[in-house]
Amino acid sequence: MAEFIKSIADLGAYEKESASLGLPEIAVAGRSNVGKSSFINMLACRKNLAKTSSTPGRTRLVNLFTFDGFVLVDLPGYGYAKAPKSEIRRWSELTDGYFIRTVRLVHTLALVDIRHEPSELDKRMISYLYDAGRPFTVIATKADKLSRAACGRAKTVIASALKIGTDNIIVTSAASGQGRDAVLARIRDVLGGENRYE
Ligand SMILES: Nc1nc2c(ncn2[C@@H]2O[C@H](COP(=O)(O)OP(=O)(O)O)[C@@H](O)[C@H]2O)c(=O)[nH]1
Ligand SMILES: [Mg+2]
């Protein structure tokens, strides 16, 4: 059963909360409007656990959700073009700070929209994770917007743009629930043998 814990606006508060929960963490990252909140709701089988929005750029906070045996860390969406510079700075402070300070992160789910070639910021996020030695899985969102054949082609395009294997991409749709089982299986996999925080 998934539960919302809290929105956190500074890293000190995150560290305190993380320590008191004492669970392995799965981070969810992606540009704003990629479907992050919808994806979290799909995983949780809840309609409004994470607030979705048709107006991009709404999430400026790190949101924590507890799932069965792990904490899901919803990082603020990046790349909202209209965001003021100060907001963008704040975004990087929170996100970079999270990756630097976390001691419980075991895996990152990096979301990209299946309809678009990964942006420069998407590429930067993936190289950041790669260079930092942070294991990740790319989640292609909104698969219901493309035909099955187009999804297959898009997967190849995304893999090549991000220089990763297609086996490291899970195609999902929050609208249809496609990919939910595969994501949960991946999470179970990466959590296997991760009992040291209990
Ligand atoms: N068709 C379709 N629309 C989606 C899907 N996931 C998200 N959306 C829509 O994309 C917009 C942004 O979604 P949201 O979850 O708020 O994105 P976030 O900003 O990354 O948290 C909303 O209008 C959602 O309804 C999906 O799987 N399929
Ligand atoms: Mg959101």
User: Is residue 193 scored above 60 in pLDDT?
Assistant: no
| Segment among 66-70, 110-114, 150-154, 168-172 with least mean pLDDT | 66-70
What pLDDT digit, counting tens, does each position of 69-100 carry? 999 999 988 776 666 777 677 777 788 889 99
Instruction: Give burial (CB, 10 Å; 0-12/13-18/19+) of 197.
Output: middle
Rounded to the nearest 10 degrees, the angle between the axes of helix 148-162 and helix 120-131 is: 60
Q: Which domain holds residue 90?
A: 3-189
State how many domains the chain has: 1
- Span 188-197, average pLDDT: 71
Closest-CA residue to 33 (of 121, 102, 107, 100): 121
Give the residue whose CA is nearest to atom 6 of ligand 1. Answer: 35
Report which secondary-structure segment, H or E, holds 187: helix 180-191
What pLDDT digit, counting tens, does each position of 40-60 carry? 999 999 888 888 776 655 556
Give the residue whose CA is nearest to atom 4 of ligand 1. Answer: 142
Give the residue whose CA is nearest to atom 23 of ligand 1. Answer: 54
Residue 196 included in any domain = no
Residue 195 included in any domain = no
Q: How far is the CA of 65 from the centre of ligand 1 (A)?
A: 18
